[in-house]
Amino acid sequence: MRTWDNQPFWGVGAEWDPDWLLSPRQRRLRDTLVELCEQEIRGNAERVDDELRFPRRNLELLGEHGYLALTVPEEYGGLGGDHTAFAVACETIARYGCASTAMCYVMHVVAVQAIMLRPTPSLVDDYIRPLSKGRIGTLSYSDPASGGHFWYPISSSAERVDGGFRIRKKSSWTTSGGFADFYVVQTTSPGFTSYDDLSVFVVDAEDVRAQPSLWDALGLRGNQSGPVEIDAAFVPTEHLVGPLGDGAESNDEVVDPWFLTGSAAVWNGIAMGAVDIAKRHTLGKEHRDTGRRVADYPVVQDYIGESLIDTNAARLTVLATAAALDEATDGNRRVLAPDVRARANHLHWCWQAKFTAAKNVSAVVDRMLHACGGSGYRRDLELERYLRDGKAGWVMGPSNEVLRQFVARSALFGFSAVDYRNRTVDERALRNETGKLDPAAKRALAARLFAEAEAAEQTHVAGRVMRT
């Protein structure tokens, strides 16, 4: 039986957790996290929300127990955890502790895993081994010109200089911005010619400019997910992650699978946490005029039953997807060479896991507000914070609008139709538009396209020279 303050846990019981999908070690890792949430993390959540405070103490506490290196191999000082352990950790922190902390943790682990895709002795010594000392990383991939379409970093560049690279990067949304110790960033490669030519670098905090005081959000208020800028920072060659041009593969093999799995687990944790709160309130609140507790009303039971069923379906989707990623990577122990796919083969399941969890959490917290009545709007019940935090799920990139388009296009036309980098020509639309032109206009268009092709060819040659 799960306990809280030395009493039986007041929320939904452990028998509703799909423990048959977890190993004994994964269950122990989760149970330790529940204890940390009980002891300190949940108590910090209100201050984090009220004061827009970065949850550093919560993250330091996770670091003290090894969770900042949860997915790092044991030979590098980590716990050797896999995708399933990561999903369970993210859900647990969000459910029992603090959703802002959970999302900062997601971005930290994604940054760590981006480095671990192409580990080198220098990267491991500089950024992975120090995780045991509480160093916090984050991912900075978004772009003010393309929003949540982080795979298209227009406002970035990298140029070769002696001993390394000169990096410029603008990011519109960077969780832990201004507070992380290191940032994994994606930019266009030196001399790039198209947006599938991207590279990944690790940048130290002193080279990143942020304005945390400007951050003020509806929910996840401790995330400090504001804009950051890197202005011509020098990055040594040994802090390039993988070869030049590896960024697109890093997106598909690390950033999307880990982020979508982790964030989906956070939304599921928020949904379960809301059900927990509603159970405590509706069992404890009695209407003296009817002699009934709120939980005795059939409509309230309908709300809670439907929410638990829907959320457990979303949880099972995440855990099944994590299991597939584990199988593809030998439990997160397989080191992949460039051009080798493993997690990327399951991207379409990661899309669905995030969409389902993000859609569900808003519906669940809304129902729990109805179940709790007017009391649900009181801040001391905590439900309103869960409502605000959960709303971030739908819009966080890739937004649910984008994800359902990805799923539909790949199912209808094949995976190449997703076209992250805007490279595929819509021949049907092209024929339709050019069919509207008279012969003179077609000749003028052809001349213009020929001139553009000549210029593009010269740019491509110049880019190849710069790369070499």
Confidence of residue 384 (pLDDT cuts 50, 70, 90): very high
CA gap 16, 304 in Å, rounded: 13
**pLDDT in the model for residue 462:** 60
SS (H, E, C) 421-436: CCCCCCHHHHHHHHCC
Choose the weakest-confidence range: 124-133, 148-157, 428-437: 148-157
Asked whether the predicted pLDDT for residue 466 surpasses 60, the reply is: no
What number of other Cβ atoms are within 10 A of residue 450's Cβ?
Answer: 10
Angle at CA 51, nearest 5°, toward 184 and 215?
45
Asked whether the predicted pLDDT for residue 467 surpasses 80, the reply is: no
Confidence of residue 151 (pLDDT cuts 50, 70, 90): confident
H or E element that contains 452: helix 439-467
Choose the weakest-confidence range: 135-149, 244-258, 308-322: 135-149
* Global pTM value: 0.94
Radius of gyration of the chain (CA): 24
First CA to last CA distance, the chain: 62
Asked whether the predicted pLDDT for residue 468 surpasses 70, the reply is: no
Mean pLDDT (the chain, rounded): 94
pLDDT (average), residues 123-135 = 96
Q: For residue 140, which of 161, 110, 164 has the smallest C-alpha distance? A: 110
Confidence of residue 425 (pLDDT cuts 50, 70, 90): confident
pLDDT digits (tens, 9 = 90+) for 187-197: 999 988 777 89
Asked whether the predicted pLDDT for residue 459 surpasses 70, the reply is: no
Confidence of residue 423 (pLDDT cuts 50, 70, 90): confident
Confidence of residue 418 (pLDDT cuts 50, 70, 90): confident
What number of other Cβ atoms are within 10 A of residue 429's Cβ?
Answer: 9
Confidence of residue 149 (pLDDT cuts 50, 70, 90): confident
pLDDT digits (tens, 9 = 90+) for 324-340: 999 999 999 999 999 99
Q: Which two tokens stand for residue 400?
A: 């649910």
CA gap 13, 20 in Å, rounded: 15
Residue bearing tokens 């739908």: 394
pLDDT digits (tens, 9 = 90+) for 152-187: 788 899 999 999 999 999 999 899 999 999 999 999
DSSP reduced 3-state for 304: helix
State the alpha helices, DSSP H only, in 373-426. 383-395, 400-413
Q: Where are the beta strands (DSSP E) in 283-380?
A: 286-287, 292-293
Which residue type, as a one-letter code, is found at position 404?
R
Q: For residue 82, which of 328, 338, 316 has the smallest C-alpha distance? A: 328
Q: What does the CA dihedral 297, 384, 89, 125 come to, rounded to 10 degrees?
A: 180
**pLDDT in the model for residue 117:** 97
Confidence of residue 428 (pLDDT cuts 50, 70, 90): confident
Q: Which residues pair with 457 in a beta bridge?
A: none
CA gap 385, 274 in Å, rounded: 10
